Amino acid sequence: MSNRFTPRVAVPLTVVSALIGGAVLSGCGQQRDPDVYTVLNSSTDESYHRWDAQTLARCGKRLGVTIEQQSVPAAQVMTKALRMASSKSLPDVLQLDASEMPTFAEAGGLIPLKDLGLTTKDIPEGIVDFGSYEGTYYGAARTVNTLALFYNKDTLDKAGLKVPTTWAEMRAAAKKLTHGRQYGLALSAGGAEDGVFQFTPFMWSNGGDETKLDSPEVAGALDYWKSLLKDGSLSKSTVNWTQADVNDQFMAGNAAMMINGPWQVETLNSKKGLDWGIAEIPVPEPGDDSVGPLGGGVLTVPNTGDEEREKMSAKIIGCMSGEQEQITYALNSWMVPANEKAAAEWRTKVPELDALADQVATARSRTAKLGARWSSVSLALQSAFQSALTGESSEAALTRAQKRATSGN
Amino acid sequence: MSTTTAAAAPLTKKTAKPPNPARVRRRRRLAQWGFIAPAVVFMALFFGYPLVRNIVMSFQDYSPSTFFTGESPFNGTDNWSKVFNDELFGKALWHTILFTIGSLIGQFCIGLGLAVFFTRRFPLNGVLRSLILLPWLVPMVVSGVVWRRILDQDTGVLNSFLGTLGLGGDTPWLTSTNMALISVILVNVWIGIPFNMVILYGGLQEVPKELYEAASLDGASAWRSFRSITLPMLRPVITVVLVLGFMSTVKILDLILALTDGGPADSTQTLGTLTYQNSFVQLDFGAGAVVGNILILISAVFAVFYLRANRNEGK
């Protein structure tokens, strides 16, 4: 019986399996629609997605093209874009977190914006650096953010305290404000980029540097964090908190002050009766500069190999980061416009965020010195401050971190 | 097979041409391969290819620029020495061992206890049994996020509960380097209990009631009949539960990312989180592949032990 069926059965089966295999193996080349451009960003949050959609609709109308928005969670933008690169389906405009941009640029994935006709006129030097890798300007920022000290006005008034400006003042104030369920200060020392972002203003204001983690200045900053924890002014959960957790604690009244960024303002304002203020992050000694980290996304043109489209992509970026669009976006998202003129106009509209604008003016980019090596240093630093906050000495933890950071690459 | 050859003989006799046994055999072989082919192609595509690719990748310099240029030069054992020289690797391996053993023991013992408990008849048995399945139905990331809140040192429900009972209530569940791994294991035990219970409960239903009746006639105690009847009869089911449990536990990633992100101070880094960190945070896919290969190797060694144990049982 079987030999009668043999050819009839065997052949179709083999053909079917070959077909399935072939279909899986052959990648599908993507045909681009000439009038439709895509932007990949991390605006998964409903309001951010809507604001961006409005901006893109206005820019699309002005440039006579359709612009589609695709949003993935911030942590996945990089890996998603890399996958798109290998399947030759990169978006026309890619919004990257500024700390990730150097990695993408180093890989040869970005087109210099000046080659495509975008200028850096009216953009402060610090923000041009923020969007540059090895001296080449790849990313245009619409707005930037940084960290600042948020405080509960009522709580501070009740305790008769002024807003602290130095480390000593902050330590004393935090100690005085700690009672019952309330901690004096909340910050994030979590084991991810959040914690490192929060550590940088302390490290930099103290004269420390990410290129030399085992310097006494970095250890001094870490010792300061340790002293806050030892006083009981910081919750022991600090090592497990993200910046969003810190904001929750502040809103729930579990912390009188917090270190956080302006992207939390939208949520902060949703709680009625919470009267908060904002100030620059305190410095080690009176008169020191408060140096915060610059954060935020930059708009880049990925290397798709299609020059005509790339030119149009640059025009889209030019429109998105135009003065008026910057102000609109900044007012929506509570961040600071990148452009000098736009920032000046923005200041008159939201005087309560003056401290933030000052902090941005002196802020530094995390990757300016290390470029693509930042991620290794960041990982080593996370592990170091977490070890130190859970018992080890700052010097020992940071010495190990420096060794790990330099051996990593 | 023997039936087909028997059927083949009379058929070929009827035809005018003389029978050609070589041709018949070839045709039969072709048919056999035809049936096997889809499975082989499937396995090769979806298991073989990624596996081989991963091994090759661990000897390559596979960085973000590879995605653009398509070039990933071989760099010998650079990735391997990088991973083995990283002190984090030893730590992560040790944590993985502790995590796997701790989780399996906890899940299995509690799961077996509950399974035995539910074989008795009592009101609401069915309702309770389905309620216990809940942790299994919740996505692991959701459990992780919820447990992170529950275990918070200051504002967590667990600590306030312990506090009202007068049992302290300031346990640093996730914030102490000594405690975090234990907490992560406890949460994973909670997640794994339903799976163990369901499979073991199913196994218990298969044990013939007569055996217990005979044992009770012989005057065996409850413990004795559990040890001499339940456990031996359950053995095949127990092996399956443990093997499946091992496979899903050793590669744990999402739960730890949601609970502690590997912290504090790398005290909950496992091989799973390490390969994630290498590949998707540092974008060093070569090093990530090395850790991935080690995970596969561990699973493979375990699978061999499992197959040998099974073969011995068959004899």
A27 chain-B contacts, CB cut-off 8 A:
none
* pLDDT, position B290: 94
Contacts of B29 (CB under 8 A, 6+ apart): none
Give CA–CA dist A325/A319, Å, rounded: 7
- HSE toward the beta carbon, residue B197, CA cutoff 13 A: 25
Residue showing tokens 């933030």:
A356
Same domain for A189 and A164, yes or no, is yes
A16 chain-B contacts, CB cut-off 8 A:
38
* pLDDT, position A88: 86
Per-residue pLDDT tens over the stretch B164-194? 888 877 888 888 888 899 999 999 999 999 9
Give CA–CA dist A295/A98, Å, rounded: 7
Provide the residue ranges of all domains of chain B, joining segments of one domain with +.
88-314
Give CA–CA dist A380/B92, Å, rounded: 15
Same domain for A349 and A396, yes or no, is no
H-run or E-run covering B299: helix B285-314
Answer yes or no: pTM beyond 0.90.
no
* pLDDT, position A306: 86
Same domain for A167 and A230, yes or no, is yes
Find which of B24, B62, B67, B159 to mutate to test the A interface (most A CBs within 10 Å of its CB). Answer: B67
B275 chain-A contacts, CB cut-off 8 A:
none
ipTM higher than the 0.90 cut? no
Minimal CA separation from A212 to chain B, in Å: 20
Average pLDDT by consecutive 10-residue portion of chain A (409 residues)? 44 52 47 84 88 92 91 89 89 91 89 88 85 91 92 92 93 92 92 90 93 93 94 90 92 93 89 90 92 92 89 91 91 89 89 85 87 88 91 91 78
Q: Which of A108, A387, A404 sits opposite B69 (nearest CB)?
A: A108
- The structure tokens listed for A174 are 């935090």
Q: How many domains does chain A have?
A: 2
Phi, psi of A390 (to 5 degrees): -105, 20
Contacts of A116 (CB under 8 A, 6+ apart): A301, A310, A311, A313, A314
* Three-class secondary structure of residue B92 per DSSP: helix
The answer to the question of residue A187 being in a domain is: yes
Q: What DSSP state is assigned to residue A121?
A: T
Q: What DSSP state is assigned to residue A66?
A: E
CATH of the domain at A174: 3.40.190.10
The strand pairing partners of A66, in sequence order, are: A36
Closest residue of chain B to A235, computed from CA coordinates: B154
Q: Which domain holds residue A105?
A: 36-145+295-362
Same domain for A247 and A392, yes or no, is yes
CA-based nearest residue to A241, from A289, A303, A183: A183
The answer to the question of residue A167 being in a domain is: yes
Asked whether the beta carbons of residue A375 and residue B281 sit closer than 8 angstroms, the reply is yes
Chain A touched by B253 (CB under 8 Å): no
Q: How many CB atoms lie within 10 A of CB B219?
A: 7
Q: How many CB atoms lie within 10 A of CB A193?
A: 23
Give CA–CA dist B229/B237, Å, rounded: 14
* pLDDT, position B12: 47
Give CA–CA dist A98/A121, Å, rounded: 20
The answer to the question of residue A4 being in a domain is: no
Helix axis angle for B125-132 and B87-118, nearest 10°, is 170
- The structure tokens listed for B283 are 């974008």
Give CA–CA dist A359/B285, Å, rounded: 37
- The structure tokens listed for B73 are 């030069």
Fold annotation for B88-314: MetI-like fold (1.10.3720)
* pLDDT, position B207: 87
Residue spans of chain B under pLDDT 70 = 1-19, 312-315
The answer to the question of residue A267 being in a domain is: yes
DSSP assignment string, B37-50: HHHHHHHIIIIIHH
Find which of A6, A83, A88, A398 to mutate to test the B interface (most B CBs within 10 Å of its CB). Answer: A6
The answer to the question of residue A12 being in a domain is: no
User: Cα–Cα distances in Å, from B87 out to A377, B37, B81, B91?
Assistant: 16, 45, 11, 7
Find which of B150, B179, B281 to mutate to test the A interface (most A CBs within 10 Å of its CB). Answer: B281
Same domain for A286 and A299, yes or no, is no
First to last CA, chain B: 25
Phi, psi of A185 (to 5 degrees): -140, 150
Q: How many CB atoms lie within 10 A of CB B24?
A: 18
Q: Which of A6, A183, A387 sits opposite B28 (nearest CB)?
A: A6
* pLDDT, position B5: 46
Minimal CA separation from A354 to chain B, in Å: 33
* pLDDT, position B312: 67
B261 chain-A contacts, CB cut-off 8 A:
190-192
Are residues A188 and A241 in contact, defined by beta-carbon separation less than 8 angstroms? yes
